Amino acid sequence: MTFENILVAVEDNLAKVTINRPKKLNALNKSTIEELHEAFKSLEENKDVKVILLTGSGEKAFVAGADISEFAHFSVDEGGKLAAKGQELLFDFVENLSTPVIAMVNGFALGGGLELAMSCHFRIASDNAKMGLPETSLGVIPGYGGTQRLPQLIGKGKAMELIMTAGMISADEAKSYGLVNYVVPQDELQGLGEKLASKITKNSSVAIGKAIKAVNDGFKDGINGYQSEVQQFGACFGTEDFKEGTTAFLEKRKADFPNK
C-alpha cells in the first residue's frame, strides 16, 4: 500500500500506521482521513494482521488536530458534513474495527488528534506527549467524537474542564486520568507497543473482535451491552478458535489459534 500522507508497514502479525505530515504536525486533512480509512479497511481484511499500531511521524506530534486551514472558511452545512464524514470514515470506523488498534501517542495529541487516539482501543504515550481538546479556543467544539469519548474515558467533570479550558495535560496527568495506559520515554514507545501487541497476538483474534464489539455496544444508544455480550459469547462456541483454545487447555499445551 502506498499513500501520500501516511506510511503503512506490515511485519508478521503486526501493522504499523504512521501519519506522515511532520511539517504540519501530522494535522488531519481530508486526504489523510481518506487514506487512513483505506488503510484500516484493508488491514482489517488482511487476516494475517492481528494488531495495528498507530502513531505520528517525527518526535513532536502524534496529530496536532484537524487541519485548521481546510475548514476555516466553512459554512454551517459544510461544518456539519465535515464532522459527520470524519466520524464515519475514521473515528467510528477505527473504534468499531475488529482488529485491535493501539495509539502510540508520541507528542502533541490535540483536537482531532486526541479524538483519533480516543477512537483507538487503548492508548500508550511517550513522556513528552501533551493532550487536549483546544476547539473552544477556536470558536468550535470537538466534532470527531471528543465530547462523547472523553467523558467515557475520564469522567464528565474532568472532560468538561478540559473542553472548557481548552488546556493541555501532560502524559503523566493523562495516565492518572486513565486516558493512557502507560507512559514511557519516547525511545521506548515503539518497543512497548510491540510488547503489548505480542501479548495480544497470542490470543484468539476472533474472540478479541467479539470482545471489542461487546465492549463498544455497551456505549451505544438503544443497544443493551449485556445482551450483546451474551450473543458474542454464544457465537464464540461455534468458532474453531474456541475448540482449539479449550482443547489446548485440557491437553496442557499452548493454543495455536487458526483465527477462524
Return residues touching ligand COA (CB under 6 A). 24-25, 27, 64-69, 108, 110-112, 134-135, 138
Pair 225, 218: CB distance under 8 Å: yes
Provide the minimum distance between the beta carbon of 218 and ligand COA in the complex, in angstroms, as a whole number.
28
- Cα(114)–Cα(259) distance, rounded to whole angstroms? 31
200 close to 100: Cβ distance less than 8 angstroms: yes
**216 vs 185: CA distance, rounded Å:** 31
Q: Tell me whether residue 188 is one of the annotated catalytic residues.
A: no
Say which of 4, 59, 115, 194 is annotated catalytic. 115
Q: Is 161 a catalytic residue?
A: no
Residues 6+ apart with CB under 8 A from 230: none
Give least dist CB 189 to ligand COA, A.
19
Residue 27 or residue 211: which is nearer to ligand COA going by CB? 27
Residue 98 makes CB contacts below 8 A (sequence gap 6+) with 44, 205, 208, 209, 212, 213
Which one of 38, 45, 135, 194 is the catalytic residue? Answer: 135
Ramachandran quadrant class, 103 (left: phi over 0; alpha: psi -120 to 50; beta: rest): beta
Nearer to ligand COA, 93 or 108 (CB): 108
Q: Are residues 130 and 157 in contact, defined by beta-carbon separation less than 8 angstroms? A: no
| Shortest CB 175 distance to ligand COA, Å | 20
Choice between 68 and 236, CB closer to ligand COA? 68
Which CB sits closer to ligand COA, 68 or 255? Answer: 68
Kindly state the smallest distance separating residue 147's Cβ from ligand COA, in Å: 13
Q: Which sequence positions are flagged as catalytic?
A: 115, 135
